[in-house]
Amino acid sequence: MDERLFETVLKGETPNFLNLVQKDEEIIKQTVPGSLNTVLHLAARYGHEELALEILKLCPEMLAATNEKLETPVHEACREGRLHIVRLFLETDSWVVHKMNRNKESALYVACERGRLDVVKQLLNYPSVSLLEMDDGLTTSLHVAASAGHLEIVNELLEARPEFTWKKDPNGRTPLTLCSSKGHLEITRELLKMDPDLSSSQDNEGRTPLHWATIKGRVNIIDEILSVNLESSEIRTLHGETVLHLGVKNNQYEAVKHLMETLNTTKLVNTPDNDGNTILHLATAGKFTSMVIYLLKLGVQVNAINRNGFTALDIVERDASNRDAFLIVSALQEAGAKNCDQLPPVSPDIQIQPLDDTSQSIRFSMPKKVPKYSSGNHPHWHLSNLEKQIEVEKEGLRNARKTIIVVAVLIATVTFAAGINPPGGYNQVTGKSIVGKQISFKVFMVCNILALFLSLGIVILLVSNIHVGRKSLMKLLAVMHKLMWLSISLMAAAYVAALWTIMPHGRGMVWELVVLVSVGGVCTLAIFAGLMALSVRHLLRIRKSRKILDKYGIPDSSTSLVAERQMMQKESYESSDSEFDNSYEAVYALY
């Protein structure tokens, strides 16, 4: 599009536009590259009614012109809420309002999406407009208005097309499902007034509005739906998930707590899904500590077995790599949880029927092969999964110790070589440094010497065969790690000082050196900042876990649980650290 034409249309300068058209009649047919918007699209978007009228007089067929999205100027006017221009277009040719864009969206749809109430009222004066959305599997204007939370528009659409309440989009969701997910309470009430049975509508995954409200943690929507249709709480998804399964899986603690306090959860609390997982299985798999502790207080079955033959304790011990997992293990064991191999064998013929309602229950069998152990073939577990994790941590500490030693030796080697071969060379007769009186050389020597002896001290300390406990070793490595940072920093400073000593001191060379040093320094500082951020994040997680302990009264490392485990494994760990219980404080972190 010509630049002068584009600016004229944007500003709505009708006289200038007419002058351009008089000079070149074909200029009116130009479009914007990429979007293919015509001058009438632009006039409609920016609300230039006079200009739009002149364009229609010169070229009426432009009203039906489409852009790259197959949208007419009516779409632009409706989207931006230009009511006067919409009226002008409808007076010119009312049938243009029936055109849909590439995404099967009508002018009414885009007006509802943006909340243009006046435009919606104008369009609803044409009953045939809403008939465009009667096809099955099409997202209607009521869907988008309910999802966006435009209550007044929803009321207008319900009055004009009440049958749209049961229309489903390509995902099988009704308008009630969408507004329940987004948390629009007033619209939810209006839709439920139209038909309370809407609360039982299921999408392509079998999820109801109550399910979506629980997934998103919309407690007020949950209350509203249950007040209308309490039976919707027993509907299950295609995967056999109850409303509690979905709440736990998405870690919606408040929603699950509210459901537990509102409903009779006798049937639901221990109901398995199609994979045999109860809500406790899901909470432990997600490592939702608060959720697990709350469910245990409710008295859920702690030793339920899923279709893979795992209890909740088995699931969390498969990845006991952080403090949350350790807290959950402790809480489960305090509640009497056991591993699957500690439970009596389950008959493969047992059928599990999750719900009494035959219309919603799904029957399935346990795996055909269930391991049965006798005294002769029962696996002998010398170490529990938790103890194995501690062994892994000890191995990590040993590897970290070796790594620090290797790096320290390398630093000592480099700094020693730089010390006996100083920058600038030395006098062949006296053996003294030629540039020894320069300040930069003195800085080099100080930093180089400090880096050398710090590295030697680290090596001497770590290679000494001193028996220390695991917790003490962790503290020692943490200190050595910080000293390593200091040693590397001193070596870098010595390198910069050496470069400054031997480089020519012309103005251009100085700036080049400054730039190079700045780039290197920024990169190093970025690495240090990242490490500090990780350390702070780790400390915050420790603090959060301690708050959870204090809130729910879970025993700390000094209580009976860990002490009992320490006594039970004392004979097997005579060579291990006596501070086993203090590993609870360490949270398996090396530094």
In the DSSP assignment, the letter for residue 231 is: G
Q: pLDDT tens digits for 545-558? A: 656 555 545 444 33
Average pLDDT in the 371-393 region?
Answer: 46
Q: Between 27 and 519, where is the model more confident?
A: 27
pTM of the model: 0.60
Q: pLDDT tens digits for 388-437? A: 556 666 777 778 778 888 888 888 888 888 888 877 777 777 777 777 77
pLDDT tier, 534 (very low <50, low <70, confident <90, very high otherwise): confident
> What are phi and psi for residue 364, nearest 5 degrees?
-155, 160
How far apart, in Å, are the Cα atoms of 61 and each of 77, 421, 522, 534?
Answer: 17, 86, 61, 63
Same domain? For 273 and 343 the reply is: yes
Instruction: Look at phi and psi of residue 199 and say left if phi exceeds 0, alpha if psi is from -120 to 50, else beta.
Output: alpha
Residue 409 domain boundaries: 386-502
| Bridge partners for 364 per DSSP | 352
pLDDT at 549: 53
- The yes-or-no verdict on residue 475 having pLDDT over 90 is no
Angle between helices 39-46 and 3-11 (to 10 degrees): 30
CA 309 – CA 340 distance, rounded (Å): 7
pLDDT at 349: 41
pLDDT at 287: 87
Same domain? For 481 and 390 the reply is: yes
Contacts of 163 by beta carbon, 8 Å cutoff, 6+ apart:
none
Assess if residue 143 is contained within a domain.
no
Same domain? For 310 and 288 the reply is: yes
pLDDT tier, 16 (very low <50, low <70, confident <90, very high otherwise): confident
Structurally, the chain folds into a number of domains equal to 2
CA 146 – CA 212 distance, rounded (Å): 14
Same domain? For 357 and 391 the reply is: no
Domain boundary among 332, 352, 380: 380
Assess if residue 4 is contained within a domain.
no
- Let me know: does 162 contact 194? Beta carbons within 8 Å: yes
Assess if residue 294 is contained within a domain.
yes
Domain boundary among 473, 502, 531: 502
pLDDT tier, 479 (very low <50, low <70, confident <90, very high otherwise): confident
pLDDT at 128: 72
Same domain? For 390 and 478 the reply is: yes
- 3-class DSSP assignment, residue 48: coil
Assess if residue 152 is contained within a domain.
no
Q: What is the token pair recorded at 517? A: 């040093």
Assess if residue 279 is contained within a domain.
yes
Percent of residues, the chain, with pLDDT higher than 70:
76
Q: pLDDT tens digits for 246-297? A: 999 999 999 999 998 888 777 788 889 999 999 999 999 888 888 888 888 8
- The yes-or-no verdict on residue 355 having pLDDT over 50 is no
CA 322 – CA 584 distance, rounded (Å): 10
Average pLDDT in the 37-63 region?
Answer: 89
pLDDT at 98: 84
Mean pLDDT across the chain: 77
Assess if residue 35 is contained within a domain.
no
- The yes-or-no verdict on residue 570 having pLDDT over 60 is no
| Bridge partners for 426 per DSSP | 433
Same domain? For 265 and 325 the reply is: yes
In the DSSP assignment, the letter for residue 426 is: B
Same domain? For 283 and 416 the reply is: no
CA 488 – CA 415 distance, rounded (Å): 10
- The yes-or-no verdict on residue 559 having pLDDT over 90 is no
H or E segment to which residue 365 belongs: strand 364-365
Q: Which of 50-54, 87-91, 539-543 has the lowest mean pLDDT?
A: 539-543
- 3-class DSSP assignment, residue 587: coil
Give the residue from 121, 129, 168, 131 showing the smallest Cα distance to 146: 168
Q: What is the token pair recorded at 362? A: 């799904």
Q: What is the token pair recorded at 53? A: 């009228």
Q: What is the token pair recorded at 580? A: 């086993």
Same domain? For 263 and 365 the reply is: yes
Same domain? For 328 and 424 the reply is: no
Domain boundary among 457, 478, 502: 502
- Let me know: does 29 contact 36? Beta carbons within 8 Å: no
Same domain? For 424 and 348 the reply is: no
pLDDT tier, 459 (very low <50, low <70, confident <90, very high otherwise): confident
Q: pLDDT tens digits for 78-109? A: 999 999 999 998 888 888 888 888 888 889 89
Other Cβ atoms closer than 10 A to 256: 26
Q: Between 275 and 362, where is the model more confident?
A: 275
In the DSSP assignment, the letter for residue 97 is: G
pLDDT tier, 184 (very low <50, low <70, confident <90, very high otherwise): very high
- 3-class DSSP assignment, residue 202: coil
- The yes-or-no verdict on residue 202 having pLDDT over 70 is yes
CA 414 – CA 577 distance, rounded (Å): 37
H-helix segments, 308-363: 312-317, 323-334
CA 167 – CA 457 distance, rounded (Å): 76
Same domain? For 371 and 426 the reply is: no
- The yes-or-no verdict on residue 125 having pLDDT over 80 is yes
In the DSSP assignment, the letter for residue 276 is: S
CATH number, residue 336: 1.25.40.20
CA 230 – CA 233 distance, rounded (Å): 6
Assess if residue 330 is contained within a domain.
yes
Rounded to the nearest 10 degrees, how much is the dihedral formed by the CA atoms of 99, 104, 107, 112? 160
pLDDT tier, 506 (very low <50, low <70, confident <90, very high otherwise): low
Give the residue from 213, 231, 306 showing the smallest Cα distance to 267: 231
Same domain? For 373 and 248 the reply is: yes
Please provide the size of the chain in residues: 591
Assess if residue 134 is contained within a domain.
no
Q: What is the token pair recorded at 343? A: 């439970």
Average pLDDT in the 316-323 region?
Answer: 72
